[in-house]
Amino acid sequence: MNPTRQNPVTILLVDDDPDFLCQMELQLRNAGYAVTTAADCREAEAQLAQAPPDLAVLDLMMDHPDDGFALCYHIKKKNPATPVILVTAVTSETGLEFDAATEEEKSWIRADAMLNKPVRFEQLTREIERLLRK
Partner 1 sequence: METLQILVVDDEPGMLTGVQRALRSLRLVLAEVQTEVDFTVETAASGELALERIEAHRPDILLLDHKLPGISGLDVLERIAARKSDILTIMITAYASLETAVTAIKQGAYDFLAKPFTPGELKATVHKAASNLVHTRQARKLAQEKRRIRFDVISVLVHELKAPLAAVEGYLSILRDGIAGEDPALQHKMIARCGERMDGMRKLIVDMLDLTRIESGQKARTLSRVDVAEIARKVMDNCQAAAAGRGINLMLTGPEILAMTADAGEIEIVLNNLVTNAIKYNRDGGRVEILLNQTDCRVTLAVRDTGIGLTEEEAARLFQDFVRIKKTETRNIPGSGLGLSIVKKIAYLYEGNVDVESQPGQGSTFTVTLHNEPEVHHH
Residues lying near partner 1 in the complex (CB under 8 A): 16-20, 22-23, 26-27, 30, 39-40, 61, 63, 89, 92-93, 95, 117-118
Amino acid found at 55: L
Considering beta carbons, is residue 90 or 112 the nearer one to partner 1?
Answer: 90
* Least gap, CB of 104 to partner 1 (angstroms): 29
Question: Measuring CA to CA, which residue among 60, 53, 47 is closest to residue 33?
Answer: 53
* Least gap, CB of 63 to partner 1 (angstroms): 5
Residue 72: φ, ψ to 5°: -60, -45
Amino acid found at 91: T
Considering beta carbons, is residue 40 or 76 the nearer one to partner 1?
Answer: 40
Considering beta carbons, is residue 10 or 27 the nearer one to partner 1?
Answer: 27
Question: Measuring CA to CA, which residue among 97, 79, 80, 81 is closest to residue 89?
Answer: 97
